[in-house]
Amino acid sequence: MVMDAAGMLTALANGRLPRLVLRRLSYGAKVQLWADACSIGWAGDLRQLPPVDVRDIEHAITSREVLDRMRRMGIVPASMTQRIAVRHGWRDVLARDPAARPDPLVAIELGALWLLEDLVDGSGGYGNVRSRPAPTVEWANAAARTGRLAVVKWLHARMGDTAWSAETMDLAAGSGNLDLVVWMSRNRREEFTHQALESAARRGSVAVVRWLVDRQTPTDPGGAIVAAAGAGHMDVLALLHERFGSDAFARQAAWMFSSVRDLRVLKWLHSLGLIKPQANPPRAILERAALNGHLETARWVCATFGIAPDEIMFEMVCQEGHAAVAGWIVAEFGMAVDQGMFDRACEADNADMARLIMARHGIVVDAESARRAVSMDATRVIGVLVEHDGSLARTIIRMAVAGGNHDLVEWLCARYRRHFTQDALEVAVACNQTRIAELLLTAVTHVAWNAAAVQQMPRARQDGQMQRVLEAYLQRSGASP
């Protein structure tokens, strides 16, 4: 059963969420878990959550209480405290926290004109700011890069005749904010360069690209063509083709095809007759598509140009773990899989790749397969193995117990509880895995652990801690040790 973030937080608070579940979450799921915990003011220990880059969850920290807790736990550094305070306009946090020194560039990035005014005017009560900073060209570049028109106007008024730079103008074009571009062209002495058109094209801003082309026809639109093709911005490409024609595109063909990843762009370029086998080998396009996991693009290239992937390309696709592309190559071109590919699937915990390999003839799925998956904590592959052969569950449990892999055993308890039997405890005791024995006796409640059998378990290899765990269980069960 798939558990959502709220369910995970509840299970974690109740001590019922295996640590391995948290470790195996995708990074996006980890960020979502943190975001939910912050937004609801989760009362649990935030240090139990899987680590993420705090910059990815700053938007979810919306209360001073949550921020204070995270600061006390050492989760949020001073620099991030500043960003969060600026984002929400918490002047009091900035004023009372000497470590959260207000940074003008952060204020610009977040569009906090109020903070810039406070800093430059010396107001706001920020005792940790000893001098009034003066606006600089670096500030202007930051405002242009982030498309902050209000900040740019304010800087223009404050800085008087101070020269900015062509870079400032080009950064404004790259922000995609047409109002900002128009205002700067009317109010600043600096000029746009060819980099402005390239930046706007990479951003996908048709409006800015059209404005630049209409008013400042560049002598060389090549950079913009390559940038738009690589980013997959069809509207921009169509506009550039309309204004500059196929010859301009043909001159950039080699650069374009080294960056194109969007199938729509490839089809469109092909319709213009720009994919020429001599200059732009379709095999190179196929290899790039396959190694990036772009199945539909790989299909189209093969069908359109009558080519096929070779063994080297197939091996590289398998190494990258692109199961969908690998499966297509196997089904369409009869490529063979081998045991080594299964090992790599285990190493990457790639369930789709493992399922593909297991479906082919000649691949043996047995205890050795289970051993590989257990040795690599490959929980997704373990799921595929048990799905293929339910009897492997008990084998996997015994291996994890014998190996002392507490986190994996905890995960198996949650996922395959019904497969646990008396022999799991016997293995734990025989291998002197005390923590796992304690976990089994307390967490696997559906098994009526046989008190008599527990009493008879070999004591020779048990240390004092294991004996105490077993004796505590016997006392709870009403049997005398």
As a whole number of angstroms, the distance between CA 177 and CA 185 comes to 13
Inside any domain, residue 169: no
Inside any domain, residue 302: yes
369 contacts: CB under 8 Å, gap ≥ 6 = 342, 385, 392
As a whole number of angstroms, the distance between CA 114 and CA 88 comes to 12
CB 181 within 8 A of CB 157: no
Burial of 100 (0-12, 13-18, 19+ CB in 10 A): buried
If asked whether residues 394 and 481 sit together in one domain, one would say: yes
Instruction: Give which of 29, 38, 27 is closest to 73, Cα–Cα.
Output: 38
255 contacts: CB under 8 Å, gap ≥ 6 = 222, 226
Inside any domain, residue 406: yes
pLDDT in tens, the chain (481 residues): 457 778 888 888 887 788 888 887 888 889 999 999 998 888 888 888 888 998 899 989 999 899 989 988 888 888 888 889 999 998 888 887 766 678 899 999 999 999 999 888 877 666 555 567 889 999 999 999 999 999 999 999 998 778 888 899 999 999 999 999 999 999 998 889 889 999 999 999 999 999 999 986 566 788 999 999 999 999 999 999 999 988 888 888 777 776 788 899 989 988 888 777 666 678 888 998 999 999 999 999 999 989 999 999 998 998 888 999 999 998 899 888 887 888 888 888 888 888 888 887 556 778 888 888 899 888 989 998 998 888 899 999 999 999 999 999 988 988 888 888 888 888 888 888 888 988 888 777 666 666 666 766 665 455 677 878 877 777 776 655 5
Instruction: Give which of 50, 52, 54, 57 is closest to 19, Cα–Cα.
Output: 50
Inside any domain, residue 428: yes
If asked whether residues 407 and 481 sit together in one domain, one would say: yes
If asked whether residues 398 and 478 sit together in one domain, one would say: yes
- Residue 423 exposure: Cα atoms within 13 Å on the Cβ side: 9
If asked whether residues 406 and 327 sit together in one domain, one would say: no
Instruction: Show which of 272, 304, 336 is a domain's final residue.
Output: 336
Instruction: Show which of 336, 365, 400 is a domain's final residue.
Output: 336
CB 35 within 8 A of CB 60: yes
Domains: count for the chain = 2
Instruction: Show which of 321, 336, 351 is a domain's final residue.
Output: 336
Instruction: Give which of 447, 449, 463 is closest to 413, Cα–Cα.
Output: 447
Instruction: Give which of 2, 60, 74 is closest to 32, Cα–Cα.
Output: 60
Instruction: Give which of 268, 259, 331, 269 is closest to 295, Cα–Cα.
Output: 331
Domain that holds residue 310: 281-336
As a whole number of angstroms, the distance between CA 184 and CA 188 comes to 5
Inside any domain, residue 455: yes
Inside any domain, residue 171: no
Inside any domain, residue 427: yes
If asked whether residues 323 and 402 sit together in one domain, one would say: no
115 contacts: CB under 8 Å, gap ≥ 6 = 86, 94, 102, 104, 107, 124
If asked whether residues 465 and 395 sit together in one domain, one would say: yes
If asked whether residues 475 and 398 sit together in one domain, one would say: yes
